Amino acid sequence: MTRALVGDIGGTNARFALWQDNALASVQVLATADYPSPEQAITAYLASLDLAPGAIDAVCLACAGPVGGDLFRFTNNHWQLSRRAFCETLQVRELLLINDFSAMALGMTRLTPEDCLQVCPGEAEVERPRVIIGPGTGLGVGTLLPLASGHWQALPGEGGHVDLPIGTAHEAALWLQLEQQLGHVRAEDVLSGSGLVNLHRALCALEGQAPRWHEPADVTAAALAGDAQGLAVLEQFCRWLGRVAGNNVLTLGGRGGVYLVGGVLPRVAPLLLASGFAEAFRDKGCMSDYLAGIPVWLVTAEYPGLLGAGVALQQARS
């Protein structure tokens, strides 16, 4: 029986698991700073399971950035990888590198009802595209397409770098403050961990106040504690997320539904569910009715990127 390994590699942590019987097993999270290369991290992971290089036949790694050619440099940590050297070192016959948000999108195909919270009700059209959007270190945006073969195709893109949309006079005033701070204002400049701080600064500037927080965790902690200023930041954050998600649905015909992922939202789930996200999501003028019946879910699954790497490997082998 063949044994495969899947990985989801971020800037701070690398998540590894065995892919057995089309499911994850033996998940571990390793700090990328503790290892000079992915080969050494994987060797340490295997050793913890009493496995040596050569014990796995195939590897699929989800990585941030374009994944063509032999040499891959990770965009968010110090690692780099030569496909040839990697396979020789770990005695692997098959190595598949995929974009991290493509893996995230494919992971949506393995979710259970317990892995999601409903943000907007509706009926998904199963043959239509699904939109995946996730504020984390940056803003990831992806599309998932069902294929006639029963497989899935994930379309990577750079949707986090679209212009930040403006839907109200208040948002226009905030945009002017952001433009003064940042120059060109992308969706990611607000809809990310650092974006929470940018948004807090813009709100303070608009109100003539000094910023109180300089770390994303401080903003979310204040909001969860009921601080009025923190709540205002999270409310506007959720509204802008709704606008960007709605724009993607209109562009892609994403009537298969929207999945909200990433590291930020699960921490503030109660605020998201009580926010104006749904109102902003549907606020599209003459096209508002188009958005009204499209479901939106907040994904709470712990390792969707790893699941997606497993799905990608499974599809590549079938």
- Fill in the DSSP letter of residue 143: E
Tokens of 38: 């992915």
**Distance separating alpha carbons of residues 94 and 132, to the nearest angstrom:** 28
Q: Are 187 and 164 in contact (CB under 8 A)?
A: yes
Residues 6+ apart with CB under 8 A from 208: none
CA distance 136 to 216: 10
| CB-side neighbour CA atoms (13 Å) of 100 | 24
Residue 232 burial by Cβ neighbours in a 10 Å radius (0-12, 13-18, 19+): middle
Identify the H or E element spanning 272. Answer: helix 269-274
Residue 278, pLDDT score: 97
Per-residue pLDDT of the chain (318 residues; tens, 9 = 90+): 578 999 999 877 899 999 998 899 999 999 999 999 999 999 999 999 999 989 999 999 998 777 777 888 887 688 999 999 999 999 999 999 998 889 999 999 999 989 999 999 999 999 999 999 999 888 989 999 999 888 999 987 788 999 999 999 999 999 999 999 999 999 999 999 999 999 999 999 999 999 999 999 999 999 999 999 999 999 999 999 999 999 999 999 999 999 999 889 999 999 999 999 999 999 999 999 999 999 999 999 999 999 999 999 999 877
- At 22 the pLDDT is 87
What pLDDT, on a 0 to 100 scale, did the predictor assign at position 63? Answer: 87
Q: How far from 75 is each of 88, 134, 318, CA to CA, in Å?
A: 23, 18, 30
Q: Residue 263 has what pLDDT?
A: 86
User: Is 9 annotated for ligand binding?
Assistant: yes
SS3 47: helix
- The whole-angstrom separation of Cα 231 and Cα 222 is 8
93's tokens? 């016959």
Q: What Å distances lie between residue 4 and 127, 207, 227, 260, 290, CA to CA?
A: 30, 55, 47, 28, 43
List strands edge to edge, sheet with 58-63: 23-31, 13-20, 4-9, 58-63, 94-99
Say how far apart CA 318 and CA 315 lie, in whole Å.
Answer: 5
CA 126 to chain centre: 22
| pLDDT for 205 | 96
CA atoms within 13 A on the CB side of 130: 29
Q: Is 8 annotated as a binding residue?
A: yes
Phi, psi of 214 (to 5 degrees): -130, 5
pLDDT score for 156: 76
pLDDT of 272 reads 98
Known binder of ligand: residue 300?
Answer: no
pLDDT, position 317: 79
Give the chain's domains with CATH numbers.
Answer: 4-105+304-316 (3.30.420.40), 112-300 (3.40.367.20)
* Rounded distance between C-alpha atoms, residue 109 and residue 257, angstroms: 12
10 is in an annotated binding site: yes
